[in-house]
Amino acid sequence: MPINNPGAAALKSFRKSETRAMADVSGDVAYTGYGFKPSVLIITSCLGDALSWAQIDINLDERCVYKKADTKTFYSGNYSVMIMLSATSAQEAIIKSLDSDGFTLTWAKAGTPAGTGNFTVLALA
C-alpha cells in the first residue's frame, strides 16, 4: 500500500549516457543537461569485458568497484568512474562538484588508452 505523505518532495531522477575519449588529457569535464542539482549519482561504465559501478553522495563521498570478466579480482577505490583497458592504460575520474544542471568530474589519464569509454549516470535529487 502506498504511503501518503503530502509534505514530502517528489524524487527527481534522470538517467543519461555519457562518453569519454580515452586519449583525452587529464582535467575537469562538466556534464550537464540533467535539469537539477543531483544529491546522489550512480555511475556504471563498461568497456570490452570490464565493468565499473560507483556511487557518489551529496557530501562528494565516492566509491567505485571495478571488475574485469577474465579475472577473479575486484578492484575498489575512491573514484567515480574507472575505464580501464589494462592495468597501465586507463581513464579514471573523481567527483569535483555537484552542479545546478549536472556534475563535474576530474579525469586522470594513465598510459596511452585509445577508443571511447561509455558510462551511464543515474542522477537523483
Q: pLDDT tens for residues 69-81?
A: 666 667 777 888 8
- The amino acid that residue 98 corresponds to is L
Q: How far does CA 118 lie from the centroid of its chain?
A: 10
Q: What is the rounded CA–CA span in Å between residue 47 and residue 117?
A: 6
Q: What residue ranges of the chain have pLDDT lower than 70?
A: 1-8, 69-73
Q: What is the rounded CA–CA span in Å between residue 41 and residue 14?
A: 10
pLDDT at 1: 46
Residue 100, judged by CB atoms within 10 A of its CB (0-12, 13-18, 19+), counts as exposed
pLDDT at 73: 67
Q: Give the up-direction half-sphere exposure of residue 55: CA atoms within 13 A in the CB hemisphere.
A: 3
Indicate the domain borders of the chain: 13-123
pLDDT at 12: 94
